[in-house]
Structure 1
Amino acid sequence: MSIDAQVKAALDELEVPYTRRDEGQYLVTLEGTNRLNTPTWLLVREQSVFVQAFVCRQPDENHVGVYRYMLQRNARLYGVHYALDRVGDIHLIGRIPLVAVGPDEMDRVLGQTLEAADGDFNTFLELGFAESIKREHAWRSERGESLANLMAFEHLFE
C-alpha cells in the first residue's frame, strides 16, 4: 500500500474531516474550543509526512514573551513544535517518519496538534494582542455590543 493510501486509510479510520487536495496532500480540519478549528496540512514527502498547522498571526506586541512561551512549550510537545513562517505567523510543524504512518501515530500527532493549537490559542492572544483586546472590549462596551467572546480575557479589563 502506498504512503498516500496509508494516510488516507488512517484519516478514514480516525473519522477526521479532511479534503484530499492532490496525491499526498491532505487538509485536515481539527475542531476545537478556544480556536474553533485548526486547518492542518499533511503532506507526503520522500522520507516523511510533513505536518503544518496555522495557529496565530504574528503578534502585535510582546514578541519576546510570545517567543519565550513558544520555546518553553516546545519542550513538552510530541511530534510537532512551534515555528514562525517568513512573515512571523505562528505554526505548529512536524514530521511523521514513513515507517510510523498509521492510525495510532496519526492520532497522537493530530491530537497533540489540536491540544496545542486550541489550548495555547488564548495564551497567544493574551501575550501578543492584549492592547487590541482591551481596545475591542472598550469599543464594544461603548456601543452595547456583545462581549461574550471576550470573556476569556475579562481579567485584562479590570
Structure 2
Amino acid sequence: MENRINIQKVAPAAYQAMFGLEKYLSTSKVDPILLELIKMRASQINGCAFCLNMHAADARKIGETEQRLYLLNAWRETTLYTEKEQAVLALTEEVTKISNHVSDETYQKAAALFEEDELAQIIMAIVTINAWNRIAITTKLTVG
C-alpha cells in the first residue's frame, strides 16, 4: 500500500480540532452505545476499515453485543434496535449519503424522540465520524 500524507504529523492543529469535537461528544448527553452505533453505521456506509475496526472494539468495551454489531448493516430487518436507535441509524444513513438529502420524515422522527440539544449532539456525532472516515480513507490509514 502506498504511503500517503500523515495529517496528524503534518497538520497537528487540524487533528487537535477534530479531537476537540470528540472531546465535546464524549461529554454529550448521547448514550455512549448510541455514539458507537453512529460511528459504526457511517463507517460501514463509507467503507472505512480503520474506523470500523476501532469502533467495533470500542463498542465491545462498553458492552455492545456481537450480535448487534454483526446485524448493524441490516438494522431494519431485526428487532434488536430500540426506536431511538432506529431513528438515529436512519438519520446517520441520510446524513452520510447527503447527496440524497435528509428527508423531513427521518428528521421529524428523530426530533420527536430526542430533546433539541441531544439531537444537535447526534447530528454533530454523525458529521464528525464522516469527517474521520474521509481522513482515514483519503490518507489510507490501515488496520493493524
Give TM class, smaller chain.
under 0.3
Q: Whose strand fraction is larger, Structure 1's or Structure 2's?
A: 1
Q: Which has the higher contact order (CA 8 A, sep 6+)?
A: 2
- TM-score normalised to structure 1 length: 0.25
- TM-score normalised to structure 2 length: 0.26
